[in-house]
């Protein structure tokens, strides 16, 4: 790739399902910067904090750059031959269902297509599933039950056109910030727009809501079946639509009427007044969009939740119209693309059905394949259970980290360790999953690979390479195609480029498609390399016979069921109690603002680690008092499957009786933070999606004898500490620590932690009676590390301490200030970082309020905070309100 001239490349963000356009600028010296693409219709130039920091995540530190076999470097031919021969031998000896692929919504569509083709059409098994099973499988199942197809009816424009937006189980402000900002901007133009948030927690998304319904965990089915009954009782139905375009309405309404308003209140934990206000608002507002995400999907009743929501939109005819419809927002950048190519165990390519013999014959004929999977394969949880009991004997994992993200993660790790043959394709040399691979294959990362992704509104965009492939890394489609050829499938996998793969994928979507299938991009079936390179973002469908663009689905019916009518699903609300005397709390797991999945990318960015740098658990003040938990204590959270150690955050935003903890931390970043070791392999019976948000748990204070905080140039391995969490910062690492014993040689511990060179100057302060120790090591004018120890949570400013790693320390006063643990002279303590985009801290915001900046807009004008992605605006408002209240007292 040409590297001697500056250039700007249009590509797409690799994080969530919003699918934001990114302009990656490569300077003549190779330095990369990114900004939002103002012409991309998903984001119009906006980026969230993660997208804005992408240039900080593309270094080669920790990259897997060469194939490895049993830990030794190998050539590609040797590694691919071993993979191909082992899979072939396993199939010959034990049958095609003895092998499996576990893949990822991080793959590009071209990667997904080739992988699915190899497994379903040439191996002849459907044992290919994806981490998207953990994300949106219930939405797929709900769509298929209601519509006859996995079709998202609406578009992002509907969020700006709606008069009412209902956000269900979606912390949009943190998890899909650009969509949140689009809604916020529309709300500013039309203040009459109403927003309702349905979520057990008062998340930062509540900042924009007119109404927050703090629903009981898994109360959504009762809420929306109750809504359907209310719509029927108050004559708020579109009888013409239901008569012409649906079936099963009477049965669904009868089932929904099983609970009266008092019963719905009991099942949801909401008052009858709250229910009445929400129901009457929904009934009266024709232009309503219901946006839902993981709080709906990650449930043992996730599919019923989806259909309960869809039922209400079908009953009112609010679907496929501008500003109206149910809208599933996907979590990953290409979960939708994976669905399109059939990259799940219960789907065929191009939205065809694996249970349908005509579809199977059509796909087999198109591929000219020797076999076609005749039944659904093992879904993710089932797949790893089959790995554990020996039914699966060879597994290939691509672009995902199931040792951390799967439920019952401890059992998943044990199953992978016991499997006779495990292949992992990844970009990093060390993850909690990669460490168990017999064969490690170096894959291309974002910025290096070339292909397409599909976002939540069915928009296909290009991810383009702007960096050369490092070492011997290869794109995933090419790796899989090479294995397919080595397994004897020759010409079926002899692709020369991702453009050829995309052309075949597009051609299959239009193959014998007379409008009976929703997914059709047949117009691109003959695309050549030049056209593919210049491909603009587009929404499907785009059939070859298209005379006009269909933007939305189902306003006039025409569903994809045999009779072309939508199916109402009769659903009865059921309450399941999972708590007990031993595990009296409900644990809800999820994401935070600035990190992503298992931090293999975001963990590289100092900026993204400033906001929240360690695993934590939110607990309501009443529960904290009940269980003896103080703010910033180390807490042990346990379930019947294991336990984790995390920092306690006492907050009234958490629902009483529940806990919330994020799923991001792994053994690479914490001592005992793998949250999914607590979750159960309990799944929705239809979708197979795990119930990751309703886990019986208990909490207790960890009896730490000493607490510590450190900054150090080298990545530390503080094995002496019972609790530790590391996070990248400019110039090195920051480390949170807690110890079960305080009888420790702190100087020796600090020296080991810092890895200070011989002859380094050590400065120390010890007050053994008070349990206070502060130690700093200097190598010339540079700080090698600093350690602060106290009997309780250490009060030193984290941001200020981390900044000292990048500063010159020539005079002794500055060095003593570090040992003192507080800024000296003109140093400024920014406080805990609130705005990651511009590194603005809480102390700075509070000071600006005291100087007269009494609104979020004023803070933005003074400090820039909240003016880029906007996902910190709710937190800024909290600080502004608190400071204003304090000033008024």
pLDDT in tens, 539-555: 999 998 865 567 999 99
Give the lowest-confidence range in 48-52, 81-85, 273-277, 717-721.
Answer: 717-721
- Phi/psi of residue 72, nearest 5 degrees: -105, 150
Q: Hey, what are 48's tokens?
A: 């969230």
pLDDT score for 549: 66
3-class SS string, 751-804: HHHHCCCCCCEEEEEEECCCCEEEEEEEECCEEEEEEEEECCCCCCCHHHHHHH
Would you call 437 exposed, middle or buried from its count of C-beta atoms within 10 A (0-12, 13-18, 19+)?
buried
Task: Measure the CA angle with vertex 436, ends 434 and 439; round to 5°.
Answer: 70
**In this predicted model, what pLDDT tens digit does every residue of 363-375 receive, in sequence order?**
999 999 999 999 9
Q: What is the mean pLDDT of residues 554-569?
A: 97
Instruction: Tell me if the pTM is above 0.85.
Output: yes
**In this predicted model, what pLDDT tens digit does every residue of 347-357 receive, in sequence order?**
999 999 999 99
- What percent of the chain has pLDDT above 70? 98
27 vs 7: CA distance, rounded Å:
7
Would you call 596 exposed, middle or buried from its count of C-beta atoms within 10 A (0-12, 13-18, 19+)?
buried
pLDDT score for 357: 97
Residues 6+ apart with CB under 8 A from 780: none
Would you call 886 exposed, middle or buried from its count of C-beta atoms within 10 A (0-12, 13-18, 19+)?
exposed
Q: Residue 248: is its pLDDT beyond 50?
A: yes
The answer to whether 218 touches 296, Cβ cutoff 8 Å, is no
**In this predicted model, what pLDDT tens digit does every residue of 51-75 receive, in sequence order?**
999 999 999 999 999 999 999 999 9
pLDDT score for 548: 55
pLDDT score for 547: 55
Give the lowest-confidence range in 198-202, 275-279, 404-408, 797-801.
Answer: 797-801
What pLDDT band is residue 391 in, cutting at 50, 70 and 90?
very high
Q: What is the mean pLDDT of residues 725-735?
A: 97
Give me the residues paired with residue 461 across strands.
Answer: 453
Pairing of strands 32-36, 68-69: unpaired
The Cα-based distances of 453 to 20, 446, 530, 552 in angstroms read: 11, 12, 18, 19
Residues in the chain: 889
Q: What is the mean pLDDT of residues 710-719?
A: 92
**In this predicted model, what pLDDT tens digit does every residue of 745-782 receive, in sequence order?**
999 999 999 998 888 899 999 999 999 999 999 999 99
Could you give the 3-state DSSP secondary structure of residue 195?
A: strand
pLDDT score for 4: 57
Pairing of strands 616-619, 642-650: parallel
Q: Residue 287: is its pLDDT beyond 80?
A: yes
Nearest one of 366, 314, 354, 350 to 517, comparing CA atoms: 350
Element (H, E) at 231: helix 220-233
Nearest one of 581, 577, 598 to 589, comparing CA atoms: 598
**In this predicted model, what pLDDT tens digit does every residue of 802-828 receive, in sequence order?**
999 999 998 888 899 999 888 865 556
Q: Residue 380: is its pLDDT beyond 80?
A: yes
Residues 6+ apart with CB under 8 A from 239: none
**In this predicted model, what pLDDT tens digit does every residue of 314-343 receive, in sequence order?**
999 999 999 999 999 999 999 999 999 999
792 vs 229: CA distance, rounded Å:
54
State the average pLDDT for the chain.
Answer: 95
Residue whose tokens read 């907050």 = 651
Q: What is the mean pLDDT of residues 515-529?
A: 95
Q: Residue 137: is its pLDDT beyond 50?
A: yes
Q: Hey, what are 511's tokens?
A: 């193959």
Give the other-Cβ count within 10 Å of 550's Cβ.
Answer: 14
pLDDT score for 733: 97
What pLDDT band is residue 379 in, cutting at 50, 70 and 90?
very high
Query: From edge to edge, which strands make up the β-sheet containing 421-426?
Result: 72-73, 68-69, 439-442, 421-426, 394-398, 99-103, 128-130
Give the lowest-confidence range in 295-299, 517-521, 683-687, 837-841.
Answer: 837-841
The answer to whether 775 touches 787, Cβ cutoff 8 Å, is yes
Q: What is the mean pLDDT of residues 99-109?
A: 98
Residues 6+ apart with CB under 8 A from 392: 97, 98, 99, 100, 127, 378, 383, 386, 419
Task: Please provide the DSSP assignment of 636-701 as one string.
Answer: EEEETTEEEEEEEEE-TTSPTTEEEEES---TTTBSS--GGGSS---B-TTT--B-TT-EEEEEEE
Q: Hey, what are 452's tokens?
A: 């397409």
């Amino acid at each position: 790739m040409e590297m001697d001239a500056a250039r700007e490349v249009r590509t797409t963000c690799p994080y969530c399902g919003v699918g934001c356009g990114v302009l990656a600028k490569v300077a003549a010296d190779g330095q990369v910067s990114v900004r939002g693409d103002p012409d991309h219709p998903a984001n119009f130039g906006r980026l969230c904090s993660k997208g804005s920091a992408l240039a900080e995540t593309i270094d080669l530190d920790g990259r897997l750059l060469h194939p490895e076999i049993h830990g030794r470097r190998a050539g590609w031919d040797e590694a691919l031959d071993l993979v191909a021969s082992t899979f072939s031998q396993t199939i010959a000896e034990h049958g095609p269902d003895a092998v499996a692929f576990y893949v990822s919504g991080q793959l590009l569509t071209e990667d997904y297509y080739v992988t699915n083709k190899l497994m379903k059409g040439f191996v002849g098994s459907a044992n290919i599933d994806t981490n998207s099973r953990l994300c949106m499988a219930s939405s797929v199942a709900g769509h298929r039950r209601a519509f006859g197809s996995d079709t998202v009816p609406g578009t992002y424009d509907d969020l700006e056109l709606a008069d009412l937006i209902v956000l269900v189980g979606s912390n949009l402000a943190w998890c899909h910030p650009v969509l949140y900002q689009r809604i916020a901007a529309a709300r500013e133009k039309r203040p009459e727009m109403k927003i309702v948030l349905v979520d057990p927690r008062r998340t930062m998304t509540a900042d924009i809501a007119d109404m927050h319904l703090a629903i009981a965990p898994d109360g959504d089915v009762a809420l929306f079946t109750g809504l359907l009954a209310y719509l029927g009782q108050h004559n708020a139905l579109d009888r013409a639509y239901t008569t012409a375009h649906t079936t099963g309405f009477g049965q669904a309404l009868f089932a929904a009427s099983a609970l009266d308003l008092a019963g719905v209140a009991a099942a949801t934990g909401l008052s009858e007044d709250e229910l009445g206000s929400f129901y009457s608002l929904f009934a009266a507002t024709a232009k309503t969009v219901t946006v839902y995400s993981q709080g709906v999907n990650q449930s043992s009743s996730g599919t019923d939740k989806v259909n309960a929501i869809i039922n209400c939109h079908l009953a009112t005819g609010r679907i496929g119209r501008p500003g109206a419809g149910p809208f599933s927002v996907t979590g990953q950048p290409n979960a939708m693309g994976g669905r399109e190519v059939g990259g799940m165990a219960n789907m065929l390519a191009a939205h065809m059905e694996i249970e349908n013999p005509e579809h199977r014959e059509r796909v087999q004929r198109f591929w000219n394949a020797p076999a076609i999977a005749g039944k659904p394969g093992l879904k993710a949880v089932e797949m790893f259970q089959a790995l554990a009991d020996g039914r699966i004997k060879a597994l290939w994992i691509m672009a995902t980290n199931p040792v951390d993200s799967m439920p019952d993660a401890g059992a998943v790790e044990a199953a992978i360790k016991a499997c006779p043959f495990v292949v992992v394709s990844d970009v990093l040399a060390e993850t909690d999953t990669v460490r168990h691979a017999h064969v490690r294959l170096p894959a291309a990362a974002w910025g290096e690979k070339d292909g397409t992704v599909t976002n939540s509104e069915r928009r296909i965009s290009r991810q383009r390479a702007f960096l050369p492939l490092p070492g011997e890394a290869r794109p995933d489609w090419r790796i899989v195609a090479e294995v397919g050829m080595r397994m004897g499938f020759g010409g079926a996998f002899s692709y020369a480029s991702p453009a050829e793969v995309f052309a075949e994928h597009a051609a299959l979507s239009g193959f014998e498609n007379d409008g009976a299938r929703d997914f059709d991009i047949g117009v691109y079936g003959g695309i050549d390399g030049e056209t593919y390179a210049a491909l603009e973002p587009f929404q499907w469908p785009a059939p070859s016979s298209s005379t006009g663009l269909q933007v939305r689905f189902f306003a006039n019916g025409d569903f994809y069921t045999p009779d072309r009518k939508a199916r109402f699903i009769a659903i009865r609300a059921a309450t399941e109690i999972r708590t007990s005397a031993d595990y009296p709390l409900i644990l809800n797991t999820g994401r935070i603002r600035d990190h992503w999945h298992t931090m293999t990318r975001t963990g590289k960015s100092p900026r993204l680690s400033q906001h929240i740098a360690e695993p934590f658990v939110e607990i309501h003040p009443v529960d904290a008092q009940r269980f003896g938990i103080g703010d910033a204590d180390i807490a042990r959270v346990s379930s019947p499957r294991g336990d984790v150690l995390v920092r306690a955050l006492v907050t009234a935003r958490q629902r009483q009786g529940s806990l919330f903890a994020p799923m991001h931390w792994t053994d690479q970043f914490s001592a005992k933070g793998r949250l999914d070791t607590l979750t159960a392999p309990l799944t929705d019976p239809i979708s197979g999606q795990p119930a990751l948000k309703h886990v019986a748990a208990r909490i207790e204070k960890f009896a730490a004898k000493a607490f510590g905080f450190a900054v150090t140039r080298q990545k530390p391995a503080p094995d002496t500490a019972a609790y530790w969490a590391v996070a990248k910062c400019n110039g090195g690492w920051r480390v949170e620590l807690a110890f079960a014993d305080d009888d420790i040689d702190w100087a020796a511990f600090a020296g080991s932690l810092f890895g200070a060179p011989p002859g380094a100057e050590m400065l120390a302060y010890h007050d053994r009676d008070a349990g206070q120790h502060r130690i700093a090591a200097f190598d010339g004018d540079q700080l090698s590390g600093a350690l602060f120890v106290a009997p309780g949570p250490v009060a030193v400013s984290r941001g200020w301490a981390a900044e000292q790693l990048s500063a010159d320390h020539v005079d002794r006063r500055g060095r003593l200030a570090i040992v003192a643990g507080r800024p000296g002279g003109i140093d400024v303590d920014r406080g805990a970082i609130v705005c990651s985009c511009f590194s603005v801290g809480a102390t700075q915001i509070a000071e600006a309020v005291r100087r007269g900046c009494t609104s979020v807009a004023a803070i933005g004008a003074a400090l820039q905070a909240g003016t880029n992605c906007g996902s910190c605006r709710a937190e800024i408002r909290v600080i502004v309100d608190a400071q204003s209240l304090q000033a008024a007292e």
